[in-house]
């Protein structure tokens, strides 16, 4: 496994990789969710490249850029044991040199949900992912359904900008109690960790109601709200039941497929999760 930092090294190593190259962009502090993407890439591609970069431009001024967990040695061990060929750990200086002023923005899909409560977040995501794609030139790139809006935004960007890259969206990996794996779970203390499965429980309760015939989007959102409200350590930031294509909020009956998604504060830790109504496995 080659580990490189500079663009020059990255390009030299990339040129040696057999095609097709599968690419997994990450911010590090890897867990089984990230590794599931690496395994999917390993299965489908001749070479696997992973980037580790905590991208400053996707964090808001009040967010956790400075405290975001990092453990490069451990990450590299995990990636080595998954048979990854190339790891790129770009520097902030090379990605955003002084005077940097070029941005990639996707419009409508970034306005609701995460885009509404995290202004500028997706501009940072689409810009860095474009830069990573241009440098790595993968044939396929792997994203998690855990960040469903992000994956859909990237898919839109790739279509609009004609990147010759196939975007694969992989299912959310969860703890046995339902909590979606996230690098941010490390912020939770013992009591908060016990409370955190309420996100998935709320989504599942609404999904079960939907499967039992409850189609009204507002009622499904209310079921989520009520379940979260019963957990004293949790505070709901938003619940959305949106069309999976446009991410526009559904009023009235759900015509599937729909994305039921939430953002919840457990203490000061912000967690997100989602589930798809009428597509039990993944977005595809
Ligand atoms: P991050 O390091 O948080 O930027 O995540 C890198 C990639 O891993 C993104 O495509 C995420 O959607 C994906 N990912 C994060 N958590 C999970 C999870 N629990 N299951 C599947 N994919 C995940």
Span 63-111, pLDDT tens digits: 999 999 999 999 999 999 999 999 999 999 999 999 999 999 999 999 9
The number of the ligand 1 atom at minimal distance from the alpha carbon of 181 is 19
Protein residue closest via CA to atom 6 of ligand 1? 26
> Active site residue: 34, 121, 255, 281, which one?
34
- Assess whether pLDDT exceeds 80 at residue 283: no
For the Cβ of 183 lying below 6 angstroms from any atom of ligand 1, the answer is yes
- Assess whether pLDDT exceeds 60 at residue 284: no
For the Cβ of 27 lying below 6 angstroms from any atom of ligand 1, the answer is yes
Over residues 170-184, the mean pLDDT reads 98
The number of the ligand 1 atom at minimal distance from the alpha carbon of 27 is 2
pTM here is 0.97
Domains (ranges, CATH) in the chain? Answer: 2-170 (3.40.50.620), 183-277 (3.30.1300.10)
User: In this predicted structure, what is the pLDDT of residue 282?
Assistant: 44
User: In this predicted structure, what is the pLDDT of residue 274?
Assistant: 98
User: In this predicted structure, what is the pLDDT of residue 256?
Assistant: 77
- Assess whether pLDDT exceeds 60 at residue 208: yes
Confidence grade of residue 280 (pLDDT, cut at 50, 70, 90): very low
121 is catalytic: no
Among 30, 53, 56, 146, name the best residue to mutate to test ligand 1's pocket (greatest count of ligand atoms within 8 A of Cβ): 146
Over residues 252-275, the mean pLDDT reads 96
- Assess whether pLDDT exceeds 50 at residue 205: yes
Buried (b) or exposed (e) across 8-27, using 16+ Cβ within 10 A?
Answer: eebeebbeebeeebbbbbbb
For the Cβ of 58 lying below 6 angstroms from any atom of ligand 1, the answer is no
For the Cβ of 147 lying below 6 angstroms from any atom of ligand 1, the answer is yes
Protein residue closest via CA to atom 17 of ligand 1? 33
For the Cβ of 30 lying below 6 angstroms from any atom of ligand 1, the answer is no
- Residue 147 CA to ligand 1 centre (angstroms): 7
For the Cβ of 168 lying below 6 angstroms from any atom of ligand 1, the answer is no
- Residue 169 CA to ligand 1 centre (angstroms): 10
Which percentage of the chain shows pLDDT scores above 70? 98
User: In this predicted structure, what is the pLDDT of residue 122?
Assistant: 98
- Residue 90 CA to ligand 1 centre (angstroms): 19
Confidence grade of residue 151 (pLDDT, cut at 50, 70, 90): very high
Confidence grade of residue 214 (pLDDT, cut at 50, 70, 90): very high
Output the average pLDDT for the chain.
97
For the Cβ of 76 lying below 6 angstroms from any atom of ligand 1, the answer is no
User: In this predicted structure, what is the pLDDT of residue 261?
Assistant: 98
For the Cβ of 227 lying below 6 angstroms from any atom of ligand 1, the answer is no
- Assess whether pLDDT exceeds 70 at residue 219: yes
CA atoms within 13 A on the CB side of 92: 9
- Residue 152 CA to ligand 1 centre (angstroms): 14
User: In this predicted structure, what is the pLDDT of residue 255?
Assistant: 83
- The beta-carbon contacts of 68-74 under 8 Å, at least 24 apart in sequence, are 68/27, 68/29, 68/183, 69/28, 69/29, 69/183, 69/184, 69/186, 70/28, 70/29, 71/28, 71/29, 72/28, 74/30
Protein residue closest via CA to atom 11 of ligand 1? 144
């Amino acid at each position: 496994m080659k580990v490189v930092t500079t663009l020059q090294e990255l390009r030299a190593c990339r040129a040696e990789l057999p095609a097709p190259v599968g690419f997994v962009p990450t911010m590090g502090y890897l867990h089984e969710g990230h590794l599931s993407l690496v395994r999917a890439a390993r299965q489908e591609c001749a070479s696997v490249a992973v980037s580790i970069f905590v991208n400053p431009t996707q964090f808001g001024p009040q967010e956790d850029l400075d405290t975001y967990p990092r453990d490069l040695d451990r990450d590299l061990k995990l990636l080595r044991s998954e048979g990854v060929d190339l790891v790129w750990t770009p520097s902030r200086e090379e990605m955003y040199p002084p005077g940097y002023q070029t941005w990639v923005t996707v419009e409508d899909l970034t306005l609701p949900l995460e885009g509404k409560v995290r202004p500028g977040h997706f501009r940072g995501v689409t810009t860095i992912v474009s830069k990573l794609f241009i440098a790595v030139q993968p044939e396929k790139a792997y994203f998690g359904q855990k960040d469903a809006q992000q994956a859909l935004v990237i898919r839109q960007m790739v279509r609009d900008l004609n990147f010759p890259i196939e975007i694969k969206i992989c299912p959310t990996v969860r703890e046995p109690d339902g909590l979606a794996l996230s690098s941010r779970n490390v912020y939770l203390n013992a009591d908060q960790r016990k409370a955190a499965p309420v996100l998935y429980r709320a989504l599942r309760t609404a999904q079960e109601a939907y499967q039992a015939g409850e189609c009204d989007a507002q009622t499904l959102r209310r079921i989520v709200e009520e379940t979260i409200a019963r957990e004293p350590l949790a505070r709901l930031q938003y619940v959305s039941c949106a069309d999976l294509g446009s991410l526009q909020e559904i009023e009235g009956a759900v015509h599937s497929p729909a994305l039921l998604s939430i953002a919840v504060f457990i203490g000061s830790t912000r967690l997100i999760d989602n589930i798809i109504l009428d597509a039990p496995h993944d977005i595809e």
